[in-house]
Amino acid sequence: MPDEERDKGFNRAKRAMPLAKPLASTNEEQVYTSPFGQYLDAVVSPAEAFRGAQARPRWLVFFLITIAVFLVYTFFSMPYNIEAQKELLDEVISTNGDTMPPEQLAQLEDYRDHIGTGFMGQVFPYLAVPVTLFLYLLVASAGLNVGVGLTGEKLGFRNAVSIVSLASVAMAAGAVVTLVLVLVKGDVYVGANLGLLFPRWPTEWYTRVLKGFASQIDIFSAWSVYLFTVGVREVTGLATRRSFRVVIILWVLWAVLMTALSYFGFAH
């Protein structure tokens, strides 16, 4: 066969061959049309959800969803919280009432009778939800940004806010599960944390400290650590082990802070 005819046959065969499609990159960013769908996808496909959050930040929407969940939790759990506070004061009165001055005892009984009324009882709990969560968002984002920066990688505050707001799906899930347990049991002393292993009203200071720290350890805090780790890894490219090291150190610091606040009565 002459060379010219052989070349023509090769060219015809080449044109007839289908072009191979390039393989999709494993780091291809997922495009989400619905922020709510992306929020839920953080449960089943967190890596894709965090890559999508980096491509199109929707931290405010994620944050508002979490606030809405906690407002619903507050609304339905408030009667049980009021009952728990009155139960605690009844125990204090029955234990120490005989040794209290009459004026102090009367003030304590009056305070007990007015729990859950007025601005502080009916309005303030709902105002505290967005304020508390916003402070959490700022502190956690700042800590995450600094922590990642100490590894030599650059995260940026905006990306940190996106990670924290999307990872809050674990907090929201914890609130939903806790609310179900509260409604079923009829008591706010429920949950999945290790604090339940301690007495309900510990008296010794060291028991209160241990219970405060143990109360930070549950399946949902472990899930949050996992989501933070995935988020840092996907956004910065840090190895999983280094991402986890940053997140677990920040979580321990946060748990110590919450333990201190719980000890002095500023957190549960």
pLDDT band per the 50, 70, 90 thresholds, residue 263? confident
pTM: 0.84
Q: What is the DSSP letter of 195?
A: G
pLDDT band per the 50, 70, 90 thresholds, residue 21? very low
Burial tier of 219 (Cβ tally within 10 Å: 0-12, 13-18, 19+): middle
Residue 18: its pLDDT value, please?
45
pLDDT tens by residue, 62-96: 999 999 999 999 999 999 999 999 998 998 899 88
Question: In the block, which residue shows the tokens 């599960």?
Answer: 177
- Written as six digits, the tokens of 143 are 């800590």
Which comes out higher in pLDDT, residue 98 or 65?
65
Say what the alpha-carbon torsion angle 227, 230, 235, 236 is, to the nearest 10 degrees: 120
CA distance 244 to 225: 8
Which comes out higher in pLDDT, residue 141 or 97?
141
Q: What is the DSSP letter of 265?
A: T
Task: For residue 182, count other CB atoms closer than 10 A to its CB.
Answer: 20
Phi, psi of 193 (to 5 degrees): -100, 165
CB 75 within 8 A of CB 90: no
Which comes out higher in pLDDT, residue 55 or 223?
223
Residue 96: its pLDDT value, please?
86
- Written as six digits, the tokens of 243 are 């991402």
Burial tier of 144 (Cβ tally within 10 Å: 0-12, 13-18, 19+): buried
Positive or negative torsion for Cα 74, 77, 79, 81: negative
